[in-house]
Structure 1
């Protein structure tokens, strides 16, 4: 005799299996795409960078797959999650290609790729809503992909001397610093309500970082753009931290 709830658990796991298999296929496809794109990149990606980018892709795929396994309510993975994974793959290609010291012409190509990655940020959510595949996993995958894109672009901007280390830390690492702080102070890890503000500021953040990839954007214009975007990001995190602190005091 099975224990109460066992049948439901078995059914839930069976429903997750197709989505997990689809995710594995998508991950393998984007892995092959990344490997091929790096091999064809005219900047001659050094072997350690090539291997590192592919290893990072495996890590991203493994982390996302673990999140999917922890609880995904739909049988189909959906194009929405495949697009999010493609955005993460694009970020890793950008990181590797930027390390080759691209020419101005190549930098324009990478700027276009970053802009396409930004544009797809709106596509995955739209697809999820249209197909009825909205999920906590998809939302988290999207947020973490945004953070990865921002980290790569901020690293490129500070390496090019377009913004300073402080702005780069805010624009590229704020999400990771916040998560680290939550591990030390659990009240910072409490759930926050959805806010359009966060998404809007994230779009501005990545749009500014994408613009900083373009060769003509430099000097005072780059500095002011970086400072403005960093101020928006810092202000958004400050609002959330204040809300979490108030919620902690009410408990």
Structure 2
């Protein structure tokens, strides 16, 4: 099996610095190609700085000394998502240009790549899965904000649902219980980004776009509701496992990280 350490030709600091540089370069390209203004530059720059700080902290906490090949794919996706966020911040309420749709579509398409790369190279990790999930979630939130400006604030529920679930899990520990893999859950999650991009691209009649977005929200609500119901039914078992198990401090850190990633329908898409 290939280990993550074998990919450390450049340290994480260098890779993250390169990603920030790529983000600034993308913002410059968007300025030339789409007239990106100060609001877009501010949003893109804040995103890049936040990404650098959070990923650096996560690498330190997980004691990782390198980003694996799948992490680098996710990092590239994050740069594209920063470009999407910059365009949304710069053009609130306006029809997204073709460049906006292209960036979002490529970022969504690459989500099918990083997981395969991780499995084929034997570099699957809790950090990589969490990183992938956070990039997905922020992209969906950004797309929701853009579409909400034309369809209404109700669309924000798509992007906010995952964050609401995480917030609820802090108050209700049983929501951090384990869930079995589900093809339906992953399909619904994947459909969210596709639906938001298509609905916001201006290729559908207004009513059809609203129906598509509403269907996506209904499916997501069903998926979350089904898993919350399952977690509630098994809450006593989950609490018992937590109370009857003893872990070392490093193991507890790993388990907390994995628990925070559940349920896997929170991965947008994936």
TM-score of the pair, normalised by structure 1: 0.82
In the alignment, the residues of structure 2 paired with residue 72 and residue 192 of structure 1 have an alpha-carbon distance, to the nearest angstrom, of 27
Give the superposed CA RMSD.
Answer: 2.6
Give yes or no for contact 2:24–2:45 (8 Å, CA) kept in 1: yes
- Measured after TM superposition, the shift of residue 35 of structure 1 is 0.9
Residue equivalent to 1:139: 129
In the alignment, structure 2 segments of 5+ residues that lack a partner are 241-270
Is 1:39 aligned to residue 28 of structure 2? yes
- CA change 1:167–1:17 in 2 (3 A) is same
Query: Structure 1 residues 130, 50: closer, same or farther in 2, change over 3 A?
Result: same
What is the match of residue 119 of structure 1? 109
Q: 1:19 to 1:198 in 2, by over 3 A?
A: farther
**Structure 1 residue 38: Cα displacement:** 1.3
Question: Structure 1 34/76 Cα, relative in aligned 2: closer, same or farther at 3 Å?
Answer: closer
Structure of higher RCO (CA pairs closer than 8 Å, 6+ residues apart): 2
Distance 1:167 1:110 in 2: 18
Aligned pairs for 1:172-251 (under 5 A) are 172-250=159-237, 251=240
The yes-or-no answer on 1:61 pairing with 2:52 is yes
For 1:17 and 1:24, locate their aligned partners in 2 and report how far apart those are by CA, in whole Å. 16
Query: Which 4+ stretches in 1 moved above 6 angstroms?
Result: 15-18
| TM-score (norm. length: structure 2) | 0.77
Q: Which residue of 2 aligns with 1:6?
A: none
User: How many residue pairs are counted as aligned between the two chains?
Assistant: 232
In the alignment, structure 1 segments of 5+ residues that lack a partner are 1-14
Q: Could you tell me whether the CA contact under 8 Å between 1:43 and 1:101 is conserved in 2?
A: no
Secondary structure of the 1:45 match is coil
